Amino acid sequence: MQQYIARRGDTVSRIAARHGITPGHVIQGNPWAGEQPYLYPGQILYLPSAPRRRYSVQDGENAETISALFGVSIEELERFNPGVASGRAITAGKVLVIPQPASAQVVTVRSEYGPAEVERDTGLLVEKYPFISREVIGTSVLGKPLHLLKIGSGPRVLHVNGALHANEWLTSPCLMSFIEQYGAAYAEGKSWHGRRPEEWYRNWTLLAVPMANPDGVELVQEGILPGQAGYEELMSWNSGRRSFRHWKANIRGVDLGDQFPAHWEEEQERRGIQGPAPRDYGGPAPLSEPEAAALAELAERFPGEAAVSLHSQGGEIYWNYRGYEPAESKGLAADLAAASGYRAVELTGSDAGYKDWFIQRFRKPGFTVELGTGKNPLPLGDFEDMALETGLILADILSHRYFLD
């Protein structure tokens, strides 16, 4: 049992992940940690030590077979077990400590994925794959960078963004994970689920903004403390609730999904929300918020052949907007649905979203994809499936003959 003092940004799952234990282990020793919406800096937790995986060597085994069995390197195995060495026999029955296999992937989700994780992982991706580049396309209300990842050298531009809605932050690592898989396959000249990344690279430039609303994401994940800037206002917009898990808006209570100049006034009237709120307030004017303005500027600067805005949840793909979409959008959406197992859905009575604006402004295919199913924020365990579905949809666009003819 060790004592740990919570710091700013700590959550139960972040602490658990750092200490090699589960969130359940943390809550077991600190029951209040499971009941409070957030941990507060200074709170003391008692953490059990991480259980070590042990293994009893079987007849005829050696360092090579055991490292292969557990997917760890021989060097790591040697480091944890002095005396064990490559090429030397190990006595059956000897108990070894098996280290955690190092993840070969940059983008993994072991706890809340927030602005700091995007900052770190976009940096690592660019380092690992020099043909991926990173840019800052603007800053959030609180001054956080809005990162753009760029991959490909083709003449066609595909815009993709994630986490426009704060409590849909799991869409960020989904998008980044696809870029990582694309980068890895491209670097090795391999196919990706039967598709050809080198063709994507040659035909398209993919412009991805994985976390469009970093301030909102941080609010959902970490809450807000008395004394922090904006505390009184945020608490009142949140009707006094301490938990912000349902929060979709940016830090000024403006819903970035209702910020785009596509029949914005009608959407405002339909929503009927006059001021800052957890969701559905479109702001004082279209593009009043720096996060939405940065996305619009990016699309103006690099007019795209298509755009995808990642949301959650529902397992649905929205493809139309008031008939401004190209005739082929419906068929494209059906193909994306077939590729991912999602449903293509025709929507009416909704305006001012990113894809609405993209379709109306450029008359090109735009899609809103509602990843996963369940209640936001979706559980971390859904990440692998959602990331794959994201990839299948984006890969289908990047490979689709509609854009290539």
User: Using CB under 5 A as the criterion, which residues of the chain lie in contact with Zn ion when the complex forms?
Assistant: 165, 168, 311
Q: Which token pair is 216? A: 């909102």
The nearest distance, CB 340 to Zn ion, in angstroms, is: 17
Least distance to Zn ion from the beta carbon of 370, Å? 7
**Which two structure tokens, joined as six digits, stand for 27?**
């809550």
SS3 per-residue string spanning 327-384: CCHHHHHHHHHHHHCCEEECCCCCCCCHHHHHHHHHCCCEEEEEECCCCCCCCHHHHH
Angle at 298 between CA 297 and CA 299, to 5 degrees: 90
Place of tokens 């869409």: 171
CA distances (Å), 52 to each of 21, 97, 98, 110, 195, in order? 10, 7, 7, 18, 40
* Closest CB 309 distance from Zn ion, rounded Å: 8
Query: Which CB, 257 or 365, lies closer to Zn ion?
Result: 257
The answer to whether 268 and 319 are in contact (CB under 8 A) is: no
CB of 247 or CB of 383, closer to Zn ion: 247
Q: Who's near 139: CB < 8 A, 6+ residues apart?
A: 145, 146, 290, 294
Token digits of residue 143: 């001054």
Q: In terms of Cα–Cα distance, which of 348, 212, 213, 330 is closest to 267?
A: 348
Query: What is the torsional sign of CA 238, 239, 240, 241?
Result: negative
Of 165 and 364, which CB lies nearer to Zn ion in the complex structure?
165
Tell me the one-letter amino acid at 72: V
Burial class (CB in 10 A: 0-12, 13-18, 19+), 127: exposed
- In whole angstroms, the minimum distance from the beta carbon of 337 to Zn ion comes to 18
Told to judge if 328 belongs to the known catalytic residues of this protein, a careful annotator would answer no
Please say which residue, 154 or 253, places its beta carbon nearer to Zn ion: 253
> Which of 77, 369 has the CB closer to Zn ion?
369
Report the residue number whose CB is nearest to Zn ion.
311
User: Least distance in Å: CB of 71 to Zn ion?
Assistant: 36
The alpha carbon torsion through 335, 337, 341, 346 (nearest 10 deg) reads -150
Q: At what angle do helices 214-222 and 115-128 cross, to 10 degrees?
A: 120
Helix (H) or strand (E) holding 3: strand 2-5
Please give the Cα distance from 165 to 311 (Å, whole number): 7
Nearer to Zn ion, 10 or 389 (CB): 389
Active-site residue (options: 305, 370, 384, 389) = 370
At closest approach, how far in Å is the CB of 356 from Zn ion?
A: 13
Token pair, residue 293, equals 């303005």
Closest approach of Zn ion to the CB of residue 279, in Å? 9
Nearer to Zn ion by C-beta: 166 or 339? 166
Cis amide prior to 36 (ω within 30 degrees):
no
Q: Is the dihedral of CA 121, 69, 24, 2 positive or negative?
A: negative
Closer to Zn ion by Cβ: residue 165 or 400: 165
Closest approach of Zn ion to the CB of residue 278, in Å = 12
**Residues forming the active site:** 370
